Amino acid sequence: MIRTVIAGIGHYLPERVVPNSELEKLMDTSDAWIQERTGIKERRYGVPHKETTTTMGARAAEKAIERAGINKEDVDMILFATLSPDYFFPGCGVLVQREMGITHKEAPAMDIRNQCSGFVYGLSVADAFIRTGQYKNVLLIGAEMHSMGLDFSDRGRNVTVIFGDGAGAVVLQPSADSGRGILSTHLHADGTHAEELAFINPGCHGGYHLGTEQFGYPQQEYGGIFLTEKMWQDQNIFPNMNGQLVFKTAVTKFPEVIREALQANALNPSDIRMLIPHQANLRISQFVQKSMGLRDDQVWNNIQKYGNTTAASVPIALSEAWESGNIEKGDLVCLAAFGSGFTWGSALIRW
């Protein structure tokens, strides 16, 4: 039986450290509030116009490729998960292909738009392609440059203080050792609350049709296509979040989808060597840990240093846990994520 293994892993974090005290100067918030409600002490921000989601993803991917012991020319497919792409389109998959100079094979590049669950969704897609024998080296990247899309006024404080920039990447390969690799993935979605954690402008829902008069639509005051002048004037151009609803749903769905993965493989929480939860809020992770009956050394938390890096958070945490020697061959690793959509998922990996 063919299984998918993580052959190489890496992450990249921009150098600039932004402590809570810096945000205190920009908006009505406090280090005490941020730490008490989220556990976050600081986050990283990329350098505007020099670094982008694509360039950070490329730096993480270079490490993953090197550690997999392959050349970039060996990559058969690129999967790129992000909610903060360089462009509205095309996606970061083709941009990272160009950035890294791996266009020789004209291998496919696909973007995954599943926000905080993007990396787990991407892992599932890669696993399917590898187990069917279609591709041998799949590069999966999760990267975000949130800092370019946040509202640094008081109005955006509940969202802005949480998010940070960074990237993580893995190279996935087939293995004939059926005792190793991805044991299963479990994906879910419920669009009922799509707008409760969303970045809705720019988008065609509120845009302006340039052929308005000819098509008989009512004349609009402001022009544009996806982004109208009115959206800009109202500053209705930032992400919004119903934090309490997201929190309540997350603490239900995380344990549910972790248990689903364990049950599918006839395993117990005590079998988990390392749970890598999406780093949404330290309180969420602590709640999940308690409800699963896990010890401190079974759960990886780094939100204190990096904030929530959305699609990058699971691969950064996984890479960090592996680099620090906390994940070794044969260990059972559980990945779990929940976020905007709502979408959520889990993956069990025998390292």
Site for ligand UT7 in 245-284 (CB under 6 A): 246-247, 250, 280-281
244 counts as binding ligand UT7 under rule CB under 6 A:
yes
Query: What is residue 218's DSSP assignment?
Result: P
Residue 222 CB neighbours (<10 A): 11
Closest CA to 333 of 258, 273, 269: 273
**CB nearer ligand UT7, residue 38 or residue 147:** 38
Handedness of CA 315, 318, 323, 327 (dihedral sign): negative
**CB nearer ligand UT7, residue 2 or residue 18:** 18
Q: How far is the CB of 242 from ligand UT7 (least distance, A)?
A: 8
Tell me the window of 67-75, 154-162, 169-177, 285-293 that interacts with ligand UT7 (CB under 6 A): 154-162
Q: Which one of 243, 256, 286, 287 is in contact with ligand UT7 (CB under 6 A)?
A: 243
Cβ within 8 Å of residue 54, ≥6 positions away: 86, 92, 95, 96, 99, 143
The SS3 of residue 11 is strand
Is 278 considered catalytic here?
A: yes
**CB nearer ligand UT7, residue 199 or residue 232:** 199
Is 242 considered catalytic here?
A: no
What beta strand segments (E) does the chain contain? 3-12, 16-19, 42-45, 77-81, 109-112, 138-144, 166-175, 181-189, 197-198, 240-241, 274-277, 332-339, 343-350
Q: Which residue has the tokens 């904030």?
A: 307
Q: Which one of 11, 59, 63, 157 is in contact with ligand UT7 (CB under 6 A)?
A: 157
Is 268 considered catalytic here?
A: no
- Of the residues 11, 278, 281, 334, only one is catalytic, namely 278
The contact pattern for ligand UT7, residues 310-349, with x = CB under 6 A and - = no contact, is -----------------------------x----------
Closest CA to 174 of 141, 135, 140: 135
Q: How far is the CB of 230 from ligand UT7 (least distance, A)?
A: 26
- Of the residues 137, 201, 308, 334, only one is catalytic, namely 308
Q: How far apart are alpha carbons 293 and 256 in whole angstroms?
A: 13
Q: How far apart are alpha carbons 27 and 237 in whole angstroms?
A: 18
Which residue has the closest beta carbon to ligand UT7?
A: 243
Cβ within 8 Å of residue 256, ≥6 positions away: none
Q: How far is the CB of 197 from ligand UT7 (least distance, A)?
A: 6
**CB nearer ligand UT7, residue 58 or residue 282:** 282
Interacting residue ranges for ligand UT7, rule: CB under 6 A:
29, 33, 37-38, 116, 157-158, 161, 197, 243-244, 246-247, 250, 280-281, 308, 339
Catalytic machinery residues: 116, 278, 308
